[in-house]
Each structure stands twice: as C-alpha cells, then as structure tokens.
Amino acid sequence: MGKADFLSPKAISNRIKSKGLQKLRWYCQMCQKQCRDENGFKCHCMSESHQRQLLLASEDPNKFMDYFSDEFRSDFLELLSRRFGTKRVHNNIVYNEYISDREHVHMNSTQWETLTDFTKWLGREGYAKVDETPKGWYIQYIDRDPETIRRQEEQARKKKQELDDEERSARFIEEQVRRGRDGKEAEETPVYTELKRESEEEKVAFNLGACSAVAGPSKPSSSALGASALKAASSSVKRKDTSSDSRGEKKKKSALEEIIEMEEKKKKKQSVRTDYWLQPNIVVKVVTKKLGEKYHKKKAVVTEVRDKYGAVVKMIDSGDKLKLDQNHLETVIPAPGKQVLILNGPYRDMEAVLEGIDEKQFSATLTVDSGQHKGKRVDVAYEDFSKLA
C-alpha cells in the first residue's frame, strides 16, 4: 500500500502522533519507549529487546525503581527551584510543567503512587515546605545553597543595622522632647482665685503698689498709684516673659544642635566608607566556584592590589598565584588575640588586636594597635577587617 498524501487525514494523524505527549498506557518506562497506539505497544512487548529488559529488571527490581525515583525527584526539584524559586505554588502546576517534557520519568515507575504521596514525602525529607488547603497541596522549595544562605544573612544584618540606627535616632529625639516637656512643667504657673465681696455695699479697690487687694472705700490718690504700679508690673512681666522665652529658645536650640551634630557625625562616618577594601599582606578566602574545588574555600595571601578592585593572591596550600576580583574573595576572621587590619570605615588601614566576636551582631571587638587611636576599643563588622599575614 502506498504512502498517504501529505494533506490526507491519515498523514495528519501520523504527524500529530509523532510529536508531543501521547497516552501513558502505551509507554514502556523500562525501555523508555513511547508507542503510538495499542497495536504498536503490543508489538513492542513481544520484541526481544523488551524481553531482555524484563529479565534484567526481574533480577533486582528495587535497583531500577530506586533509579527512576531518584531521577524523578531530582528533575522535579530542579524544575521547582529554577522555575518558581522559593515561591509557594500548587503542586499540580509544577507537575503539569514537568510532564510537558516527553522524555520525563513517569510517576508510575517510581516508589510513589500519587502526586500527594510524593508531596508529603518532600515535606518529611525537608526538601520543601508543604501545606494542605481546600484547593489542594501547596509546596515551597527550601534553598539550602551556602551562597544563598550567606547572602540572606548579610541582607538581614544590613537591614538590622539600619533599623538600629533609626531606633537610636528616634530614641534620642524622644528623650529631647521629654526633657523639654519636663522643663516646661517645672515652671511655676500662677494660681487664680475667685474674687468675693464681704458685703454688697462695700467697694473693691486694688493697691497694686503693695500687690494686695483691699476691700474698703476708694481714695482719689489710688488711681495714680495704681497706674505707676501697673506700669512697673507690666515691665516686670515683660522682662520675665522675655527671659523665659530666651531660656526656652536656648533649650530648644541646644537640642536641635545636638540632633544636627549627631546627623553630621553619622554622615561623616558613612562618607569614610568605600566600596573597595583590598589591602596587601592580608589573608583572604576564595569563595568563587569557577576555579574548581581545588581553590574553593581555600585561604590565600594578597600580594598585590590592582585598580583597587583586583588582587594578585598566593594560595597558602599550593603556592599558586591567581588574579581575582574582590567579589570572589572574602575576609578571614582569626582567633582572639591575633593581629588584624581594619579595611573600611573611620579606622581604615589601622592594625588592631581581635578581642572578641559578637555572632548576633555579625561584628567583633577590636583594640586599635596603631595610629592616633591606639588603645581604643571599637566594634567593627566582619567584612571590614581581616587577618594579617
């Protein structure tokens, strides 16, 4: 029988079957062969190659099942980490993307019977966070890469430092406001009482010169005395008001000056920091994986600094010389009592002695051993100092 025409229904059906996914019931996982229809699958099961694979599998069936299970798990987790990262996603969405590859390992050849069993197993083994909802099971990949963990810890430390600075500034401002409020409350306030007559027929006269109210008949000379006393009292009140205002302004001005001074010190401290930190004769650690396991996590000594951001290092173990960027290196923290060099901040280029380490603050206490600040104890972040060679 001749070949079907290109646009005939038979030819179109053959082209549809030849690409994309086909029925799982006609797939042989042992031989990794997909058949188009029932007849093709029947012929494959009767073939000699399939019979040989069955004999091999019957000798050690657990070996083949473990192999397929490991392949399924590694491919599924790789897709989850690369496609969704650490986001929370429905397990069916991930599974549908996984099986879209026609060369994938089928679940019916693994140790898990259903996707739910596989999801629960991921949660028990610690590969992902799983939770059940009315809409189904959700999974969230757990990234245990050391580089990712280190980057997250560094971001958390920087965020904590920023929050500490903001809290310190807010506390300082609240303290100044409280002091100002306490000073105002301490000032004496005049007490006013109700004016009462002993009898309705009596007239009330004020003798401002004596600063007392006397009940009795009015006198002609009291007006002149009252006017002079009123002027004297008003002038004294004005002097008192101006003196109190000047004290208040002085107090407010001093608090404002302290805040401005603190902000200037903070800006000055930040201005002395630079984005480069390499210095000769310090011990560093190689953190890049591009050079292979031979140099990864190995220590070296900086022999030369080039263009501020590059360095020529000599490996301590092998003596090899490498040219690396500062992004591929990190500082080394020695044991307490050892000499270090401060690489960044207001005490840059000063030698110091390591006194202790604060793991919660990601910093260390150093005693400056050179320069005008010799003998001073300072707190320096991990990345701002390194061991001297």
CATH number for position 312: 2.30.30.30
Within 10 Å of residue 11's Cβ, how many Cβ atoms? 13
Q: What is the pTM of this model?
A: 0.34
Domain that holds residue 39: 22-141
C-alpha span between 46 and 36 (Å, rounded) = 16
Assess if residue 125 is contained within a domain.
yes
Helix (H, G, I), strand (E, B) or coil at 335: coil
Assess if residue 222 is contained within a domain.
no
Assess if residue 343 is contained within a domain.
yes
Domain end (from 123, 141, 159): 141
Assess if residue 226 is contained within a domain.
no
C-alpha span between 350 and 372 (Å, rounded) = 10
C-alpha span between 353 and 263 (Å, rounded) = 30
- How distant, in Å, are the alpha carbons of 134, 198, 290 from that of 118? 18, 99, 34
Assess if residue 151 is contained within a domain.
no
| Number of domains the chain contains | 2
- Phi and psi torsions of 358, nearest 5°: -110, 100
Assess if residue 361 is contained within a domain.
yes
pLDDT at residue 97 tops 50 = yes
| pLDDT class of 126 with cuts at 50, 70, 90 | confident
| pLDDT class of 18 with cuts at 50, 70, 90 | low
| pLDDT greater at residue 158 or residue 328 | 328
- Phi and psi torsions of 279, nearest 5°: -140, 150
CATH number for position 67: 1.10.10.2030
Q: Sheet containing 299-306: which strands, arranged edge to edge?
A: 321-325, 310-315, 299-306, 283-286, 329-331
Within 10 Å of residue 294's Cβ, how many Cβ atoms? 11
| pLDDT greater at residue 15 or residue 251 | 15
| pLDDT class of 187 with cuts at 50, 70, 90 | low
Assess if residue 127 is contained within a domain.
yes
Domain end (from 141, 171, 187): 141
Q: What angle do CA 244, 247, 252 make, to 5 degrees?
A: 125
Domain end (from 141, 167, 190): 141
Least confident range of 167-171, 304-308, 377-381 = 167-171
In terms of average pLDDT, the best of 57-61, 121-125, 235-239 is 121-125
